[in-house]
């Protein structure tokens, strides 16, 4: 994947540079050898003065303030919702283009919610100053669903996600390590990031429980899938479970199609020819994508594809991606790349 159109950005700020997604953004920029004349690494007052090596230079983390965006061309926000709510309007008023990884703007009608392979065309002539990055579970789901919708049409989707602790940020990531170490040493684990112990456990609650019984995470997947696929009436049901893995969000998906597929091979080929997707599917030989293999990859992997004979035109499969990369930082970079490509063409 080339990110050559980003080179012309004069000044780039990462808001939340000390977080897991912020760090992944820095790693990706280094991997792709993308440098900007001016870089600002912003975080809370707790991190001020922290040193971060980036592209062969040492940067000091600065505190996010109302003056942070003077002269910033693009600001990538990856901070808690309340911080986004306060500072994105300030960044926009300062003239910055904001690409935001929180859920604050995802459902706003005039804000594009982008997975470039699916709805990147919305960025042609885009004049708004905010772009949203989808939830890290929504992105692999819509990538797998898009080719199915285009060829067969989708009647209904049932998705259960198996989400790693990195999806809940650095503190949650560290808690899996500390709880595991405590338990293996016969000590009582401390519980803080999740409502229950996560080490050697699974927790069927991500986000806050809403009025209809779904959690906020389950609601995000439902609403974002409808928005990105431009299917406002899509029948979709979602369950989200936190699992004790560090990286990768895996999804078990059941789809009822409008028109039947001929064979599983036909569906596998459809996915394999879609950008960013890779099918790894030979279960007789124990070959399918797992959380371990997807970590650190830019791709979204699909396996365990099979017919669901309990419904008409039914399909079951497993899809998984690195939540910090395609689920967050990589998708943001690809979105910016496409926006700048369109801008340079016009
Ligand atoms: N993790 C994922 O897989 C993922 C995927 C998609 C979207 N997201 C979204 O991305 C955002 C960040 O997630 P994350 O996993 O990177 O979280 P994280 O590891 O907990 O990092 C949070 C970042 O926000 C900064 N921050 C917190 N309060 C702040 C404040 N008052 N002022 C300035 N900076 C502040 C932190 O700075 P300090 O270090 O100084 O506290 C840190 O840099 C969240 O909105 C999350 O929902 C995450």
pLDDT of the residue at 71: 96
Pinpoint the residues of the chain covered by CATH 3.40.50.720. 4-134+327-345
44 lines ligand 1 (CB under 6 A): yes
pLDDT of the residue at 115: 98
Tell me: pLDDT of 1 over 80: no
Tell how many helices (H) and how many strands (E) occur in the chain.
Answer: 9, 15
pLDDT of the residue at 96: 98
pLDDT of the residue at 330: 98
Judge whether 249 counts as a catalytic residue.
Answer: yes
41 lines ligand 1 (CB under 6 A): no
Superfamily of domain 138-164+202-323: Dihydrodipicolinate Reductase; domain 2 (3.30.360.10)
DSSP structure string for 184-248: HTT-PPP--SSSS--TT--BS--S-B-TTS-BHHHHHHHHHHHHHHT-TT-EEEEEEEE-S-SS-
Which whole number is the average pLDDT over 235-242?
98
CA of 246 to the centre of ligand 1 (A): 16
pLDDT of the residue at 8: 86
Angle at 333 between CA 322 and CA 269, to 5 degrees: 55
Tell me: pLDDT of 2 over 90: no
Residue nearest (by alpha carbon) to ligand 1 atom 37: 43
CA of 345 to the centre of ligand 1 (A): 34
pLDDT tens per residue across span 49-102:
999 999 889 999 999 999 999 999 999 999 999 999 999 999 999 999 999 999
pLDDT tens per residue across span 146-179:
999 999 999 999 999 999 999 999 999 999 999 9
Tell me: pLDDT of 318 over 80: yes
Pinpoint the residues of the chain covered by CATH 3.30.360.10. 138-164+202-323
Q: Which of 5, 32, 249, 291 is catalytic?
A: 249
Q: Whole-model pTM?
A: 0.97
pLDDT of the residue at 55: 87
Superfamily of domain 4-134+327-345: NAD(P)-binding Rossmann-like Domain (3.40.50.720)
Mean pLDDT of the chain: 97
């Amino acid at each position: 994947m080339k990110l050559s159109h980003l080179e012309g950005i004069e000044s780039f700020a990462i808001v939340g540079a000390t977080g897991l997604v912020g760090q992944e953004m820095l790693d990706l920029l280094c991997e792709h050898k993308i440098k900007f004349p001016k870089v600002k690494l912003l975080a809370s007052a707790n991190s001020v003065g922290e040193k971060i090596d980036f592209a062969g230079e040492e940067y000091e983390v600065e505190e996010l303030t109302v003056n942070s965006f003077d002269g910033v061309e693009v600001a990538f926000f990856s901070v808690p919702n309340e911080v986004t709510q306060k500072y994105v309007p300030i960044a926009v008023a300062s003239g910055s283009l904001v690409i935001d990884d929180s859920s604050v703007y995802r459902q706003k009608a005039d804000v594009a919610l982008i997975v470039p392979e699916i709805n990147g065309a919305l960025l042609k002539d885009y004049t708004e100053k905010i772009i949203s990055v989808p939830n890290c579970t929504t992105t692999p789901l819509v990538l797998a669903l898009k080719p199915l919708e285009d060829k067969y049409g989708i009647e209904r989707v049932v998705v259960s996600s198996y989400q790693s602790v990195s999806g809940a940020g650095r503190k949650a990531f560290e808690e899996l390590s500390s709880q595991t170490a405590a338990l293996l040493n016969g000590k009582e684990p401390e519980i803080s990031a999740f409502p229950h112990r996560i080490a050697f456990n699974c927790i069927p609650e991500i986000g806050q429980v809403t009025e209809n019984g779904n959690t906020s995470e389950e609601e995000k997947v439902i609403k974002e899938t409808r928005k990105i696929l431009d299917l406002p009436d899509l029948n979709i049901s979602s369950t989200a479970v936190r699992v004790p893995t560090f990286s990768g969000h895996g999804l078990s998906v059941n789809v009822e199609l409008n028109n039947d597929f001929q064979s599983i091979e036909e569906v596998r080929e459809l996915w394999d020819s879609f950008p960013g997707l890779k099918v790894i599917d030979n279960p007789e030989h124990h070959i399918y994508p797992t959380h371990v293999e997807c970590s650190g990859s830019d791709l979204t992997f699909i396996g365990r594809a099979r017919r669901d004979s309990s419904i008409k035109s039914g399909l079951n499969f497993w899809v998984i991606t690195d939540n910090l990369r395609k689920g967050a930082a990589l998708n943001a970079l690809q979105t910016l790349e496409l926006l700048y490509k369109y801008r340079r063409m016009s």
